[in-house]
């Protein structure tokens, strides 16, 4: 027999009613479900025959986010050595990057999962795999130099206030990872503003300077002098289309690589996990508002107005947010028509906030949260419209 | 024209009277149970606000403000200490009219709103709009746009809240947070998302 199954079979008796660890039964359940499908079957009809359970659903998302994490680790190491003016082989960079990034991911998991265990033990609901996704997405939206305690506070807020007070996964109305991220953004604006990003600088593999900052593509594009264009300014600052596409530049840990986000989004769409309506809506939103601004641009307006709208898809967190955040099945609308509108408005708001709001260089995070609020309203409108079209039952 | 547009966007979204200034919370928290009722209340508040804010502007600038009574040959009189009382009186009169109209034409909405319909009189958002209008020294048309925009902002907030609460009707909220507790948390989270617009200068 499989040793892992042996182990779980041996431990089961402690967690069954009357066992000495009975209150922690949800924890046992969750750990078992990481390795095995649940043995439980639903006792009465309807019997769902689809194998896409919440567990598998969430695991598929995590699998597609992992490349972004790996790239983020490599990128963190790469930027450190680059800033120090040294060269190193891939493994050294990966190792150094892992030392920067992995603590954040581990802390996020310890706290996110910890709160989930506490709540499920006290409130007697099963542990949901949703928290694995939230705890994975959250650190990827952080800059690599986020203090560890801030990561802990952020994920705690996201999981507890964003989700657990409503009863756990599937009952919340905001994306928990983004709730935590937005909380950090407003609570510690100095470290999180998004116009500059910090790189850990190393010498021979040790930290020498804690951080130096460099302007992100968003800051470059929004502060171009009136004489130039945003595209040339970006290229001069070292952000050519290729760099932006591959993602080897300092940014949030997981959000820089557009190509990996595209791969993730496409695979998730093919698997039926992500809604293609939302993602296409997002892209239409960005492009249409971008082109509209191009039309409005005249000699006196900011060069940001006349930037090629495709750039908006490359810079900042748009790709990451569109692929993994807007498609969150819980906080997005449930009807097809509403999904198009939801996606479109997220894209449109993102560009509007980027260009018009000097307080926030990046708009995607709050645009998604904002539309999460209106997702139920869009659903209700979609249903109402559909009901009106129905021929009266005479 | 551009100025009016900026005041409109400012009052409806950026400085949303409910989610940025937290005015008019009481009826917002109690009536936001379903879309129909909250839409009705939102429209009623918008209507009352659109009318009362400009009317209060007239009241203030032709009766109360220092020197406003010059037309009655009383240039030295300053009655601005009466503004709270008179503003409320205007609002109460307006609400009476709205109440009679709703009672006549939509009995269902009238019953749904219950005591909160007459309570629009003491909805702080409406009085707040009148007082802000004095503070910010708007002229008449700016005031009219401001009142309408604030009303729409309030409507937007309560409608969003009601649909969110509908979505949360299967939520398993801890016993201690049932009712107002969870509503306050939802309102706080909504206000955080509405910060999206804060910082836009028009």
Task: Dump pLDDT digits (tens) for B64-95.
Answer: 888 888 888 888 888 888 889 999 999 999 89
**CA-based nearest distance A125→chain B, Å:** 10
Least confidently predicted of A26-35, A207-216, B64-73, B156-165: A207-216
Of the two residues A302 and B30, the one the predictor is more confident about is: B30
User: What band does A195 get if pLDDT is binned at 50, 70 and 90?
Assistant: low
CA pair distance B7, A328, nearest whole angstrom: 35
Nearest to A356 among B182, B192, B200 (CB): B200
The three-point CA angle A315-A358-A75 to 5° equals 30
The predicted pLDDT at position A205 comes to 47
C-beta atoms of B195 and A186 within 8 A: yes
The predicted pLDDT at position B58 comes to 92
User: What band does A363 get if pLDDT is binned at 50, 70 and 90?
Assistant: confident
Enumerate the residues of chain B whose CB falls inside 8 A of the CB of residue A357: 196-197, 199-200
The predicted pLDDT at position A191 comes to 66
The residue assigned the tokens 């659109």 is B50
The predicted pLDDT at position A39 comes to 63
Enumerate the residues of chain A whose CB falls inside 8 A of the CB of residue B163: 374, 376-377, 379-380
Provide ipTM, 2 decimals. 0.89
C-beta atoms of A370 and B199 within 8 A: no
Gyration radius of chain B over CA positions: 18
**Bridge partners of residue A215, in order along the sequence:** A196
> A48-67, pLDDT tens digit by residue?
666 667 777 888 899 899 99
Record the tokens describing residue A367, joined without a space. 């645009």
Enumerate the residues of chain A whose CB falls inside 8 A of the CB of residue B177: 165
Phi, psi of A214 (to 5 degrees): -140, 155
Range B96-107 average pLDDT: 88
Count the residues in chain B.
202
The predicted pLDDT at position A234 comes to 80
pLDDT above 60: residue A203? no
Q: At A210, which helix (H) or strand (E)? A: strand A206-215
Supply the DSSP symbol for A127: P
How many other CB atoms are found less than 10 A from the CB of residue B129? 33
Pick from B183, B196, B200 the residue to mutate for testing the A interface (most A CBs within 10 Å): B196
Of A102, A180, A233, A229, the closest CA to residue A369 belongs to: A180
Report helix, strand or coil for A199. Answer: strand
- The alpha helices in chain A, defined as continuous H runs, are 3-15, 25-35, 54-84, 90-123, 130-140, 148-160, 176-187, 189-192, 217-222, 230-236, 241-246, 258-271, 276-296, 309-314, 318-320, 336-356, 364-389
Q: For residue A100, what are the contacts with CB-CB under 8 A and spacing of at least 6? A: A73, A76, A77, A80, A144, A145, A200
Count the residues in chain A.
394
Range B112-134 average pLDDT: 86
Record the tokens describing residue A1, joined without a space. 């027999």
The residue assigned the tokens 């509209």 is A292
CA pair distance A155, A162, nearest whole angstrom: 10
Answer yes or no: pTM beyond 0.80: yes
Pick from B5, B14, B167, B170 the residue to mutate for testing the A interface (most A CBs within 10 Å): B167
CA pair distance B158, A169, nearest whole angstrom: 25
Report helix, strand or coil for A125. Answer: coil
> A288-311, pLDDT tens digit by residue?
999 998 888 777 677 777 788 888
Of the two residues B142 and B108, the one the predictor is more confident about is: B142
pLDDT above 90: residue B110? no
Pick from A377, A378, A383, A385 the residue to mutate for testing the B interface (most B CBs within 10 Å): A377
The predicted pLDDT at position A100 comes to 86
**CA-based nearest distance A112→chain B, Å:** 19
Enumerate the residues of chain B whose CB falls inside 8 A of the CB of residue A379: 163
pLDDT above 70: residue A213? no
B84 close to A (CB below 8 A): no
The predicted pLDDT at position A42 comes to 67
Range B91-117 average pLDDT: 86
Of the two residues A109 and A205, the one the predictor is more confident about is: A109
CA pair distance B194, A139, nearest whole angstrom: 23
Range B94-106 average pLDDT: 88
Q: What is the mean pLDDT of chain A?
A: 83
Record the tokens describing residue B44, joined without a space. 């009623």
The predicted pLDDT at position A219 comes to 73
CA pair distance B144, B50, nearest whole angstrom: 6
Instruction: Please tell me the number of Cα atoms within 13 Å of B16 on its side-chain side.
Output: 23
CA pair distance A289, A301, nearest whole angstrom: 16
Of A277, A276, A293, the closest CA to residue A348 belongs to: A293
The predicted pLDDT at position A180 comes to 94
Supply the DSSP symbol for A18: T
Enumerate the residues of chain B whose CB falls inside 8 A of the CB of residue A359: 198-200
C-beta atoms of B170 and A171 within 8 A: yes
Chain A residues contacting B via beta carbons under 8 Å: 123, 125, 161-162, 165-168, 171-174, 179, 182-183, 186, 349, 353, 356-360, 363, 366-367, 369-370, 372-377, 379-380
How far is CA B115 from its chain centroid?
17
Where do the structural domains in chain B lie, given as residue ranges?
Answer: 2-197
B107 close to A (CB below 8 A): no
C-beta atoms of A357 and B185 within 8 A: no
B169 close to A (CB below 8 A): no
Record the tokens describing residue B158, joined without a space. 């309560």
User: What band does A368 get if pLDDT is binned at 50, 70 and 90?
Assistant: very high
Nearest residue on chain B to A168, judged by CA atoms?
Answer: B172
The predicted pLDDT at position A277 comes to 94
C-beta atoms of A377 and B163 within 8 A: yes
The predicted pLDDT at position A249 comes to 82
**CA-based nearest distance A77→chain B, Å:** 33
How far is CA B172 from its chain centroid?
32
> B161-199, pLDDT tens digit by residue?
999 999 998 888 888 888 889 999 999 999 999 988 887
Instruction: Sort residue B8 into left (φ over 0), alpha (ψ -120 to 50) or beta.
Output: alpha
CA pair distance B155, A358, nearest whole angstrom: 27
Record the tokens describing residue A290, joined without a space. 């971008």
Nearest residue on chain A to B183, judged by CA atoms?
Answer: A166
Q: Are strands A206-215 and A196-203 parallel, antiparallel or unpaired?
A: antiparallel
Q: For residue B156, what are the contacts with CB-CB under 8 A and spacing of at least 6? A: B12, B16, B42
B184 close to A (CB below 8 A): no
Which B residues, 146 through 165, put their C-beta within 8 Å of a C-beta on chain A?
159-160, 163-164
């Amino acid at each position: 027999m499989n040793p892992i199954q042996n182990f779980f079979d041996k431990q089961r008796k402690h967690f069954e009613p009357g066992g000495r660890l009975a209150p922690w039964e949800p924890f046992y359940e969750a750990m078992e479900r990481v390795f095995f499908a649940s043995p439980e079957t639903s006792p009465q009809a309807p019997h769902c025959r689809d194998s896409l359970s919440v567990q598998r659903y969430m695991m598929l998302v995590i699998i597609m986010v992992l490349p972004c994490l790996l790239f983020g680790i490599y990128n963190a190491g790469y930027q450190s050595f680059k800033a120090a003016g040294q060269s190193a082989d891939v493994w050294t960079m990966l190792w150094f990057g892992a030392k920067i990034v992995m603590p954040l991911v581990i802390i996020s998991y310890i706290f996110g999962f910890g709160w989930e265990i506490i709540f499920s033990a006290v409130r007697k609901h099963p542990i949901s795999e949703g928290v694995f996704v939230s705890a994975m997405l959250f650190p990827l939206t952080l800059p690599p130099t986020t203090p560890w305690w801030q990561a802990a506070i952020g994920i705690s807020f996201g999981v507890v206030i964003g989700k657990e007070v409503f009863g756990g996964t599937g009952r919340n109305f905001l994306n928990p990872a983004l709730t935590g991220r937005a909380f950090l953004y407003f609570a510690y604006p100095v470290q999180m503003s998004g116009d500059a990003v910090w790189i850990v600088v190393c010498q021979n593999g040790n930290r020498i300077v804690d951080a130096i900052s460099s302007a992100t593509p968003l800051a470059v594009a929004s502060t171009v002098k009136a004489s130039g264009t945003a595209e040339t300014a970006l290229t001069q600052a070292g952000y050519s289309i290729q760099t932006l596409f591959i993602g080897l530049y300092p940014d949030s840990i997981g959000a820089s690589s557009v190509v990996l986000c595209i791969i993730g989004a496409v695979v998730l769409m093919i698997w039926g996990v992500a809604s293609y309506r939302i993602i296409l809506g997002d892209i239409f939103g960005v492009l249409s508002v971008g082109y509209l601004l191009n039309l409005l641009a005249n000699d006196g307006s900011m060069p940001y107005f006349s930037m090629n709208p495709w750039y908006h898809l490359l810079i900042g967190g748009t790709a990451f947010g569109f692929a993994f955040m807007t498609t969150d099945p819980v906080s997005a609308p449930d009807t097809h028509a509403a999904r198009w509108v939801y996606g479109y408005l997220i894209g449109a708001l993102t560009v509007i906030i980027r260009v018009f709001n000097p307080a926030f260089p990046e708009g995607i995070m709050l645009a998604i949260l904002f539309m999460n609020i209106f997702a139920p309203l869009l659903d209700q409108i979609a249903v109402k419209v559909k009901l009106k079209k129905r021929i009266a039952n005479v | 024209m551009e100025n009016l547009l900026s005041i409109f966007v400012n009052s409806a979204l950026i400085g949303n009277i409910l989610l940025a200034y937290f005015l008019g919370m009481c009826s917002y928290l109690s009536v936001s149970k379903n879309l129909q009722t909250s839409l009705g209340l939102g429209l009623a508040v918008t209507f009352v606000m659109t009318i009362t804010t400009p009317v209060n502007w007239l009241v203030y600038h032709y009766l109360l403000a220092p020197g406003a009574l010059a037309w009655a040959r009383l240039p030295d009189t300053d009655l601005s200490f009466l503004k709270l009382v008179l503003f409320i009186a205007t609002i109460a009169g307006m609400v009476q009219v709205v109440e009679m109209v709703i009672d006549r034409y939509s009995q269902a909405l009238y019953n749904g709103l219950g005591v909160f319909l007459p309570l629009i009189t003491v909805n702080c958002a409406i009085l707040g709009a009148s007082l802000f209008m004095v503070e910010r020294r708007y002229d008449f048309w700016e005031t009219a746009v401001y009142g309408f925009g604030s009303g729409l902002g309030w409507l937007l907030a309560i409608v969003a809240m009601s649909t969110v609460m509908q979505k949360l009707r299967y939520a398993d909220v801890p016993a201690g947070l049932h009712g107002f507790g969870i509503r306050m948390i939802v309102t706080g989270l909504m206000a955080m998302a509405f910060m999206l617009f804060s910082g836009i200068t028009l």
